[in-house]
Structure 1
């Protein structure tokens, strides 16, 4: 955009040479004609300086107006983001803002980040947990018995004899009650 130092000097020399051609030969002019030319050149310089000053002021006001408009636009965008419920500070970062995901049924915002939501599905039997929604019923897996393995996932072999003993006691009590009923009937 800008010219180099050599280019500026060349442009200055060309401009001075052009002005000198317009003035003509000053050595042949008398004193009064020379004063008239001097006043004419002085008025021209004053006029050019005034135009330069006006252009500089105009440039300053335009720059100020641009800054003001940019600031107003930022404030408007900030208010829009706040009305949508987003954080205006995170919207100006180089990453896009986190989008609020709504549950289809509850209409509640899921405020977990991506990694937290992903961790829900990392397990084999994972299911989503939403607030105020009961979890789905559990599905039990039954496998055939092998030697050394427990009968079902939560029961160990050591617990089995106690349970069998408890069942036998209940059976004995039921048989005694039945015998008593039979005796009463007789």
Structure 2
């Protein structure tokens, strides 16, 4: 599908079988829709009308609500996190970390908070019997669930005309940074980043 939509790539994004059209005005949107319809018609492809949303200002995409100014998880995505049970095995721990990794950009100091869990999740297969889930991991698990279901889980897209700032921090466990803007006295956090330091990196 991505290859098929190459003629419309300036305003059209393909995610699996979803086609997202981005326009700056209603008139431009009509023009973009016409181009997409014509491109698909050449390949004898049609839309399912019941699954189409035209000329909307907000869409749900890959478990997120995306608008002109921001992106945030959907209520269903938040509920899925609330339903997560505390891991008791190495496999369950890695599944938990993999399941919430996408949301790290929403949470300041994500890696620092998750560090106790990462510490017991990096055993290779023949050393998995060393896995031990303790109070430290349990506290980190519940702290992450709490942040991922109660914090304002969204970030703003950069606003034209305002400078971008990047602040960093580090300790002996993890590094972190945030890309942000001061927009008329309000702090917009477009992107958070954090990373757990490896045992070797922690020695420096």
Q: Which has the higher strand share?
A: 2
Q: Which has the higher helix share?
A: 1
Please identify the structure whose Cα radius of gyration is greater: 1
TM-score, normalization by structure 2: 0.17
Specify which structure has the bigger relative contact order, considering alpha-carbon pairs within 8 angstroms and separated by 6 or more residues.
2
TM-score, normalization by structure 1: 0.19
